[in-house]
Structure 1
Amino acid sequence: MTAHAVSDLPPFRPRPPWLTGDLQTLRNFLLRPRIDLRPWPGERLWLPVSGGDQLAASLHARDWLGEQPLVVLIHGLSGCEDSVYVRASARFWLSLGHPVLRLNLRGSQPSRPRCRGHYHGGRSEDPYAALDALLSRERAAARQGLVLVGYSLGGNVLIKLVAEAGRRLPVRAAASVSAPIDLEATSQRFHAPRNRVYLRWLLGLLKREATAPPAELSDAERQAIAQARTVREFDDRFIAPRFGFDGAAGYYRDCSGLRFLPDVETPLIALHADDDPWIPDAAYAEAARVGNRNVRVHLTHGGGHVGFHAIDDTQPWHDRAIHAFMGEVG
């Protein structure tokens, strides 16, 4: 199924030996490729959000602001600005002459030194506040506008951000890559027996991230985090009560990107692979039926979760797809 697809985009074909969804997903973890950004040194920025916290960000090629759109990259769950997929995308866009901002969510490892709070899959007010602050400081960035790219959970946050505040920011285009736009369905898939190794790995990362100093946690919250045996329990016992959701089910219902797609008023492309081991593709079939002319959905045969390692280019296919999308929407 491909709906409202990018017309000139070649089909995705996986690069051997990464021929399955799991191998596509794991390639970056197994190889740990070195992505060199030294030709475009980054400047550390601290961008204010609510409650006195600040988000860490790396701004590359400040001198190019106003000449080309600023590409803003938002990482996924337990990731950060140094995740391989973020660095690879940064190199891609910088090589094309775009300034780039690698934005860290609240409580992620780079942001944690100045964050007592934490992010979640619907906390879109944080990137909005951070980008609003950036545009106040760097007025040249508004001249060519922003291109927002979110990966995995960051893609879900991005969809909600664009739906709620896209017109209040100079967003020219946006893209999500492997976003869990149906959080309930994603939770069910992720907790399937086949994913138990993934689950154990991710839960450990989440616990360390949430409790790293100077996180401000009550004794009850620390106990809830420590006792969580699954990601759903982590969400149900820590995330949901902390942010006022009616349990994990309420959090998933209220924050899933799928419910926000009808309200998107800026061009957005949602990229997903049909063999993503964590996120089922049924929500993308539903997204394609939303009928919002601003939203394009592209489901590939193969690609895994934020993988898209293709046979025809060493650059991840999703970066080239987003660039093609930008060329279409102008």
Structure 2
Amino acid sequence: MTHDDLEYSSYVAGLGLSNGHLQSIVPSVMRRVSVPYQRQRLELDDGDFLLIDELPAKQDEAPLVILSHGLEGNSHRAYMQGMARHFHDAGWHVYAWNFRSCGGELNRLPRFYHSGAIEDLRAVIRLGIERGFQRIFLVGFSMGGNQTVLTLAEPDLEPEVIGGVGFSVPLDLAACAEQLAKPAQTIYMRRFLKDLRVKVADKAEHFPQLVSLDGYDQMRTFEDFDNRYTAPLHGFHDAQDYWQRCSSRAVLSRLQRPTLVVNALNDPFLADGCYIRPSDASAQLLFETPPRGGHCGFIRWRLNQPLWSEKRARAFAQALI
């Protein structure tokens, strides 16, 4: 990768915080943000539901921002609450939605969520339109960033959606799965598999004809997990089919609205394919690759103040308005 491949970014890491692992771990452990969400349940056409945490705006004509979290995250993660607070303080209405099974209540169906499950994000967008919002902006983190980019490339995207931003986006899912299978990333992989085990156990209890927990503790990689669970539960042939069909890199030429993607070069979750702007990428794409930032980090030492990522997202949104 040459310097010419990279887009300028204004982010500068805090002193002593240049390491990608520190950037990824410190905010999730040490950052404290709390916002007064109001929870609502959105019933879906397939018989399932979504849990949406809302921060109502003070003004009637406020725009709406929809926040999508990462794998095994939820609306109460510090990066979600920090972004929600920053937009709300600026007068925006906020929907911080939880993927199926991620809001503290397990969902009803055998399926749960995956990187390409944009039908749920589209349902949240439609809810916003039904409530009268005329300007809707999307913000996604990691897996939620992948869903956000995929949604912004949909040919029938609702006109009320003005654009969006994805942080730490796994544009190439297969390459990122390979990256996370490396020994240096074992700490992350173990945590993901431990968290997902709780949900697989629930599915196995309620749908024993479809899901089994046998052999789960021998799994070590996303390829193992996606071959065993994600692919069959969501209609994919196998992990490779899932990754190929749901990687947002493939839709960068078809973006329908202005889209900002911010991927730090020292993100321990991302592979090389997540940093190179495709030659056929849409003019709607703004692609920033700051040298530092980790995975959903972008911190300095004042952790409980608005982060650079929060300021960057709102500035991009305000420019579109």
TM-score by length of 1: 0.88
Distance between the aligned counterparts of 1:310 and 1:295, measured in 2?
Answer: 27
User: Number of residue pairs matched?
Assistant: 317
Q: Deviations over 1:78-115 (max 9, x none)?
A: 00001110011111111111111111111213352556
Q: Does 1:160 align with 2:150?
A: yes
User: Aligned pair in 2 of structure 1 residues 292, 113: CA closer, same or farther (>3 Å)?
Assistant: closer
**Counterpart of 1:245?**
236
The 10-residue stretch of structure 1 (104-113 or 44-53) with the greater mean CA deviation from structure 2: 104-113
**Counterpart of 2:40?**
45
Which among 190, 193, 197 is matched to residue 187 of structure 2? 197
The 10-residue stretch of structure 1 (218-227 or 269-278) with the greater mean CA deviation from structure 2: 218-227
Q: Does 1:58 align with 2:53?
A: yes
Amino acid at match of 1:90: A
User: What SS class does the counterpart of residue 94 from structure 1 fall into?
Assistant: helix
User: Aligned pair in 2 of structure 1 residues 225, 99: CA closer, same or farther (>3 Å)?
Assistant: farther
Amino acid at match of 2:268: P
User: What SS class does the counterpart of residue 15 from structure 1 fall into?
Assistant: coil
| 1:311 positional shift | 6.2
| 1:2 positional shift | 7.6
1:160–1:257 contact (8 Å) kept in structure 2: yes
Unaligned 5+ segments in structure 1 are: none
| 1:148 positional shift | 0.4
Amino acid at match of 2:13: P
| 1:116 positional shift | 5.1
Q: Deviations over 1:107-147 (max 9, x none)?
A: 213352556530000010111123213422x12x12xx111
Q: Does 1:107 align with 2:101?
A: yes
**Counterpart of 1:130?**
124
Distance between the aligned counterparts of 1:62 and 1:210, measured in 2?
Answer: 37
Q: Does 1:295 align with 2:285?
A: yes
Amino acid at match of 2:315: A
Amino acid at match of 2:241: G
**Counterpart of 1:229?**
220
**Counterpart of 2:27?**
28
User: Aligned pair in 2 of structure 1 residues 225, 218: CA closer, same or farther (>3 Å)?
Assistant: farther
User: Aligned pair in 2 of structure 1 residues 45, 4: CA closer, same or farther (>3 Å)?
Assistant: farther
Distance between the aligned counterparts of 2:214 and 2:285, measured in 1?
Answer: 38
Distance between the aligned counterparts of 2:76 and 2:4, measured in 1?
Answer: 31
Residue identity over aligned pairs, in percent, reads 26
Distance between the aligned counterparts of 2:129 and 2:90, measured in 1?
Answer: 22
TM-score by length of 2: 0.90
2:200–2:213 contact (8 Å) kept in structure 1: no
User: Aligned pair in 2 of structure 1 residues 107, 216: CA closer, same or farther (>3 Å)?
Assistant: farther
User: Aligned pair in 2 of structure 1 residues 207, 234: CA closer, same or farther (>3 Å)?
Assistant: same
User: Aligned pair in 2 of structure 1 residues 173, 193: CA closer, same or farther (>3 Å)?
Assistant: same
Higher helix share: 1
User: Aligned pair in 2 of structure 1 residues 220, 212: CA closer, same or farther (>3 Å)?
Assistant: closer
2:129–2:160 contact (8 Å) kept in structure 1: no
**Counterpart of 2:167?**
177
User: Aligned pair in 2 of structure 1 residues 328, 172: CA closer, same or farther (>3 Å)?
Assistant: same
Q: CA RMSD in A?
A: 2.5
User: Aligned pair in 2 of structure 1 residues 198, 83: CA closer, same or farther (>3 Å)?
Assistant: same
The 10-residue stretch of structure 1 (103-112 or 294-303) with the greater mean CA deviation from structure 2: 103-112
User: What SS class does the counterpart of residue 153 from structure 2 fall into?
Assistant: helix
Unaligned 5+ segments in structure 2 are: none
Amino acid at match of 1:23: L
**Counterpart of 1:264?**
255
